[in-house]
Amino acid sequence: MKTEGYIQSKNDYSLFLKKADGHLTAVAVYVDDLLVTGSNPTTVEQLKHQIHLTFGIKDLGLLHYFLGIEATSVKGGILLSQKKFATDLLTDTGFLHSKATSTPLPLHFNLNKDSGTLLSDPSYYRMLVGKLNYLTNTRPDLAYTAQTLSQFMQLPHTSHLQALEHVLKYIKGTVSHGLLIQGSNQVVLQAYSDSDWAACSSTRRSITGYVLMLGKSAVSWKSKKQSTVSKSSAESEYRAMSQAASEVTWLVRLLEELQIKHITPVTLYCDNQSALHIAKNPIFHERTKHIEIDCHFTRDKVLEGLLQLSYLPTTHQLADVFTKILPSNQHWFLLHKLGLFSPHSSLRGGVGGKEISTSRSSSATSRSAI
């Protein structure tokens, strides 16, 4: 790649970029699978020809399947899904024809490490959780559930397996759902962060959740238990903001490499006024002196002009779905905002209440999979 004039990205070492004559060509590499795109189809074809002369490759044409992720051209963008992977998972576990559930886990459901009896064969549970984690690549609605069930990998109990079976029933009802990547004339990056204070009944640690939206498309998200115990909800929210700020810092650098500029300051939305005051106020006082120094990363980024902080009511906080199980109506309301749709359902699968229709875009001629 380097001999052909491509530069390896400093922000993602699997990404190679070439800028020439006002055009940009990008190549994502995973072992022997390559994803090629660019604004100049001629440059893309030249690269594929040169790689073929060196290694001998099979050109798979327009992007439709890559590392288990299916890409479908739809009206308004591209739908990324893992329908085949999810269907195979349901078939292997015998849940393909089970009754569907409306949320990944029951409302107010709580798991602890000692509930139920130990499983005689923990490998089955571990295998399913591993597959569930892989599904989160295109299913942000499963992120919170995956991190919750991953905590019991060492000694899984029957209650943990029952919770996992509930998730499989949810996947049954949403097997064709995927993430809609929408086109936009104006590129705007926004971040949402949230936390559920002392959510873990065993450790009393809080859950961090954040999501980054590029235009109307979710491009990065995480649900994770915090590493320390927070003394207040404001502190746990402040820690979540710090994690989101780190992700924003990385993504802004990556987007600048892709020639997407002038996107700062990035608005970071939080639903806790106290955490916002802590991040905006440079005065170190009694209520925050116990907070580790790395949590003040958010404040530094605000002063640098990378971030601007804004309050958002909890009902519109997109990151809320990454911190807890919500009522089904609120669960699906937030998922629609995140861009999770099905191409075959007008009830849950449309943009603005309409069905998503598949189409072939003429502008997609330069996207190729090798």
Contacts 24+ apart (CB under 8 A), 292-299: 292/228, 294/242, 295/238, 295/239, 295/242, 296/242, 297/242, 297/245, 297/246, 298/238, 298/241, 298/242, 298/245, 298/268
pLDDT digits (tens, 9 = 90+) for 208-223: 999 999 999 999 999 9
Asked if CATH classification 3.20.20.70 holds for the domain at 186-319, the reply, yes or no, is: no
**What's the mean pLDDT when you consider all of the chain?**
86
Sheet holding 207-214, edge to edge: 217-225, 207-214, 189-196, 266-270, 307-311
Q: How many Cα atoms occupy the beta-carbon half-sphere of 234 within 13 Å?
A: 11
pLDDT value, residue 139: 95
pLDDT value, residue 108: 83
Q: Residues near 90 by Cβ (< 8 Å), separated by ≥ 6?
A: 96, 98, 168, 171, 172, 175
Query: Residue 32 — φ and ψ, nearest 5°?
Result: -115, 20
Residue ranges in the chain modelled with pLDDT below 50: 346-366
Domain boundaries, given as residue ranges, for the chain: 7-59, 70-177+353-358, 186-319
pLDDT value, residue 241: 92
Q: Which residues pair with 80 in a beta bridge?
A: 71, 179
pLDDT value, residue 290: 67
pLDDT value, residue 284: 52
pLDDT value, residue 352: 36
**Alpha-helical segments (H) within 263-351:** 273-280, 297-304, 328-338
pLDDT value, residue 320: 95
Q: Are 49 and 65 in contact (CB under 8 A)?
A: no
pLDDT digits (tens, 9 = 90+) for 80-117: 999 999 999 999 999 999 999 999 999 888 888 888 88
Q: Are 191 and 250 in contact (CB under 8 A)?
A: no
Gap between the Cα atoms of 225 and 151, Å rounded: 9
